[in-house]
Structure 1
Amino acid sequence: MRSVNDLSGVDLNLLVVLDALLAERHVTRAAVRLNKTQPAVSHALARLRILFDDPILVRRPGGLEPTPRAVELAAPLRDALSTLGGLVDERVFDPGRAKREFRLSMSDYAAEVLLPALTPRIVHAAPHLTLALVSLGRDGARAAIRAGEIDLAIGVYPEGRTDDFRTSPLFDDAFACLADAASGAPASLRAYLSRPHIAVSASPEDNGEVDAALAAQGLTRRVAITLPHWSVAPQLVRGSDLILTVARRSLTPRPGDGLVIARPPMALPTIPLVHAWHVRRDHDRGLKWLRTQIAQSIPADPCP
């Protein structure tokens, strides 16, 4: 049997088929995805089984299931194809002709700020591209980037370079408090701590900047409700004494809504929103193009 490390005579198009099969777990759907016939994909699967000396996909009651060997191959295969795309197909990335799906992780806060301007840019300039969004939280997004499960994460991450992680700044935001107008915004730290709070965290494991700043002073707040996203939080604040402390750009003042926005009664760090990717994607021209579109979609700060 040929070693998989020996690529001489290996049809690298088989790897494209393998990637589609592992993504779809269905021969016919993989054929549609690749614009090939079902018999052609079935034939390619047979060749892949010989190449890797592994069944790759096995039939179970719920459908086709990848073998443990296939699961091991999925992430490095995706990275390899992405790298090849950057080296060969995208020497000059043509967004008008490119057919590609970009997988992004971002919070609903980042989506609220960026997508209204980003979406029409993408639809107009790259009509065949797809953006697939998930919200994984900081730790989950880091793990997904390293595993090759997503292309890009947008959030609050340590800025700079590590051995395998790259970040680039988008903009800085500041914290603000949202409170019911009848209850009023807390004017002092003591008043702030006496009220119940809404905390927003995409993952229970994520440490929030507000609680970290309080802990540095030996203080804690009483969190009455923890939410994975902020969009519903203003509705919970209205008519209550709850306090919501979140990024200012996520709060849009609306006259007559019964809510007030104020600065927190304590010093809090700024919120540096960045986009982050894996070092192996540094030469991916398509991803570079997308990062440029994101950076150019940042709206002006409504409350400078």
Structure 2
Amino acid sequence: MDIKALRQFDLNSLVTLNVLLEEKHVTHAAEKLNLTQSAVSRSLSKLREALDDPILVKSGKHLALTNKAERLQPILSRILQQIQDVLKPEQFDPKTHQGTIRLATTDYGTHTLLPKLIPLLAEEAPNVQISAVDWPSNLLTELETNKVDLIIGGTKEPPADIFQRVLAHDYFQGVVREGHPLSGNITLEDYLSLNHIMISPSGHGNSVIDELLEQRGYKRNVSVRVPHFFAALEVVANTDHMILLPNHFIRRYVDDAKFRVIEPPFEIPEMKVSMFWHARMHQDPLHKWFRSFIYEKVYSKVKR
């Protein structure tokens, strides 16, 4: 593409040229363009100079297209139609739209959301497919590198190119097996004496809990790291380990006959459950509709 040549040419005059080629009459072209005849005549003079061709020539009592103008007309018409298509607002109908949403969340999120999402989606957008993947270890990088479209879960504040919408708030409670040596109200000393399990897709690094304890000069012993909530719960059921889990998960999946719920002996800030998406997808019609769909119809049902 010759950018320099394009910048020297008034691309708006292509609209005038197209009408002139259709009408083959300066006055009629001016009326159609809602311009003065002199303005169209000036534009025609500039076009003749730029294209090195008279474009319109006298033929009896009328004007006729030159050979070059005849060759240009279908090309110009097609180009202007393509430009119009680019500028036209995208029409989106979930009933007929075909596409795929790549959704990343935890195993808990999958168990909670998908049974509600899929039936509703099949009714509202039958041709939209869901591709659910595990909660990624390099969470927000997956959005930046276009490996996933939407992430649902809790994380730290995202960078500027990542959008966030809070779906709900949750809080942490401790879970140990039934018959655990410690139960009921425990002290911070009791808590720090235990072996702990952490949900960790990456298998390394500190959680918000560890950072919170570190700020107060404490450190807990995280002896097991697993990527999935349900696997962690099985470990708790068969050991004296403890895990901190979201209250919504505990209420839905933790069996009172097998486990004891313990209040943490220190204050833990509420956890935000959010949707995250990259700025690249912010105005995409399918993704924009899907985010509203999740928030308004799906997640509200999950919370109840």
Q: TM-score, normalised by structure 1?
A: 0.64
Change (3 A) 1:145 1:293: same
Change (3 A) 1:88 1:287: farther
Change (3 A) 1:88 1:227: farther
Change (3 A) 1:194 1:88: farther
Structure 1 runs, 4 residues or longer, greater than 6 Å off: 87-90
> In structure 1, what is the equivalent of residue 273 of structure 2?
273
Deviation at 1:113, TM superposition (A): 2.9
Matched, 1:234 2:205: no
- 2:136 touches 2:142 (CA, 8 Å); kept in 1? no
Matched, 1:284 2:281: no
Q: CA RMSD in A?
A: 2.8
**Which range moved further: 222-231 or 244-253?**
244-253
> In structure 2, what is the equivalent of residue 179 of structure 1?
176
- 1:102 touches 1:130 (CA, 8 Å); kept in 2? yes
| 1:269 alignment partner, SS class | coil
| 1:290 alignment partner, SS class | helix
- After TM superposition, list the pairs within 5 Å mapping 1:111-126 onto structure 2: 111-126=110-125
| 1:232 alignment partner, SS class | helix
In structure 2, C-alpha distance between the alignment counterparts of 1:133 and 1:268, rounded to whole Å:
30
- Letter in structure 1 aligned against 2:263: R
Change (3 A) 1:206 1:275: farther
Change (3 A) 1:125 1:191: same
- 1:104 touches 1:134 (CA, 8 Å); kept in 2? yes
Aligned sequence identity (%)? 25
- Letter in structure 2 aligned against 1:246: L
> In structure 2, what is the equivalent of residue 215 of structure 1?
214
Structure showing greater radius of gyration is 2
- After TM superposition, list the pairs within 5 Å mapping 1:1-304 onto structure 2: 91-137=90-136, 140-159=138-157, 162=160, 164-183=161-180, 184-185=182-183, 187-251=186-250, 252=252, 257-296=257-296, 297-298=298-299, 299=301, 301=303
Deviation at 1:266, TM superposition (A): 1.1
Deviation at 1:159, TM superposition (A): 4.7
| 1:182 alignment partner, SS class | coil
Structure 1 residues 3-30: Cα deviation after superposition (integer angstroms, max 9, x where no partner): 8xx9xxxxxxxxxxxxxxxxxxxxxxxx
Change (3 A) 1:159 1:199: closer
Structure 2 unaligned regions, length at least 5: 6-85
| 2:230 alignment partner, SS class | coil
- Letter in structure 1 aligned against 2:164: T
- 1:200 touches 1:227 (CA, 8 Å); kept in 2? yes
Deviation at 1:172, TM superposition (A): 0.9
- 1:96 touches 1:128 (CA, 8 Å); kept in 2? yes
Deviation at 1:151, TM superposition (A): 1.2
Deviation at 1:205, TM superposition (A): 4.8
Deviation at 1:219, TM superposition (A): 1.0
- Letter in structure 2 aligned against 1:207: N
Q: TM-score, normalised by structure 2?
A: 0.64
* Residue-pair matches, total: 219
Deviation at 1:170, TM superposition (A): 0.8
Deviation at 1:90, TM superposition (A): 7.7
| 2:229 alignment partner, SS class | coil
- 2:113 touches 2:302 (CA, 8 Å); kept in 1? no
Deviation at 1:169, TM superposition (A): 0.9
| 1:169 alignment partner, SS class | strand
- 1:112 touches 1:250 (CA, 8 Å); kept in 2? no
- 2:176 touches 2:261 (CA, 8 Å); kept in 1? yes
Deviation at 1:134, TM superposition (A): 1.7
Structure 1 residues 265-286: Cα deviation after superposition (integer angstroms, max 9, x where no partner): 1111211011111112221111
